[in-house]
Amino acid sequence: MGGVTAVRTAIVRSDPITVSYEVMNGWTVLEVDGEVDVYTHAGMREAVDRLLGEGHRCFVLDLCPASFLDSMGLGAVVAITRRIRALAGSLRIACPSPQLLRLFECGGLRDVYEFYDSPQEAARQAPASDGSDGLAGRPGTRPSSA
């Protein structure tokens, strides 16, 4: 990316969780570091709300540094997805560990999201201008089996 330096900005910083972001190839890469649970999930939601208010629409949720995600964290992912989609945005998820994929599968959401091995891979291709990138369906619905 020829001499362009990305700047990571912390949005939420508390003891168990830090949420920061950088813009990479048109994607807002939201890095979540720490435990996303009943006590901390609101921080992730607040960060997305703030970024949406600033005009960001295409997100990569980087869960690589997240050490834990429970059902409340999964619910927060669904909530932020709805907020992003309501504004014609898109969301991709980076660093799906086997445990994370299992959580999405148990929640009936495995086929709703696009998962990538890294935030760099997720942001490799610039987002579509119509917001159609990043979601195979809407949370709470199952993709049709044509």
CA distance 134 to 132: 7
Domain positions in the chain: 20-122
Model pLDDT, residue 137: 40
Q: What is the model's pLDDT at position 141?
A: 31
pLDDT of the residue at 12: 62
In the chain, the percentage of residues whose pLDDT exceeds 90 is 66
- What is residue 44's DSSP assignment? H
- Yes or no: say if 60 and 92 are a contact pair by the CB < 8 Å rule: yes
Q: 102: which residues sit within 8 A by CB, 6+ positions away? A: none
Cα–Cα nearest to 40, from 83, 72, 8: 72
79 vs 135, which has greater pLDDT?
A: 79
Q: DSSP letter at 114? A: -
pTM metric for this prediction? 0.80
**What is the pLDDT confidence band of residue 9, given thresholds at 50, 70 and 90?**
confident
CATH 3.30.750.24, applies to 20-122: yes
Lowest mean pLDDT among 6-10, 47-51, 86-90, 138-142: 138-142
